[in-house]
Copies of this chain bind each other. A is one copy, B any other.
């Protein structure tokens, strides 16, 4: 019992290393894509042996799916707690270092696996429905399709901004701070989803 302060840092903690693998994988997959990421990249980031990926996640594919599942949870948590109009701005103006950016980028990465693909598109759909509901969209509305299209354009903008900020050094976009981005982005969001 080495408990001094809060949590004793065990040198062997399955749940903790599993989580660290998940975090490292999410970042790698989001930044570099599935195929370009090797399991050794991920385990080297964490500092553990390669075999642990297969122990905890069965396969590289399984690890990818686990990342998507974590992304679902995280995005739902962010969109649920904050006022939605704030959530939009938060999602859109997140800096390149932000976790939300990684989650967004993960939505664009494909592994070829069917199951993962279904999760991925489901997550995108859920995100765009959350956005559309800000502007008054309701599932049964027969005229809701145009509104949904506009919500998905907002999502497309967020996705595009995240992509360009992370995968290029295109200035001023890549280095702009929230205060510079917020103005134009709000104009666009207001244009597409008026009553947010």
Interface residues of A (CB under 8 A from B): 32-36, 108, 110, 112, 120-121, 124-125, 128, 145-146, 148-150, 152-153, 155-161, 163-164, 167-170, 172-173, 176, 180-181, 184-185, 187-188, 191-192
Contact = CB atoms under 8 A, between A and B. Distances in A.
A34 B35 CA distance: 9
A121 B184 contact: no
Given A152-B172, A156-B157, A157-B160, 15 more contacts: A33-B33, A34-B36, A35-B36, A36-B36, A108-B167, A110-B167, A121-B169, A124-B168, A148-B172, A150-B184, A152-B170, A153-B188, A159-B164, A188-B188, A188-B191
Query: How many chain copies?
Result: 2
B153 A184 contact: yes
Chain A contact residues: helix, strand, loop or mixed: helix
Given A36-B34, A149-B180, A163 B156 contact: yes
A75 to B, nearest CB: 15
A157 B153 contact: yes
A55 to B, nearest CB: 25
Pairs of residues from A and B, 10 with the lowest C-beta to C-beta distance, nearest first: A160-B160, A156-B160, A35-B36, A35-B35, A152-B173, A159-B160, A156-B161, A191-B191, A157-B157, A149-B172
Contacts of A128: 170, 173
A121 B152 contact: no
Query: Quick one: which of A146, A155, A168 has the most chain B CB within 10 A?
Result: A168
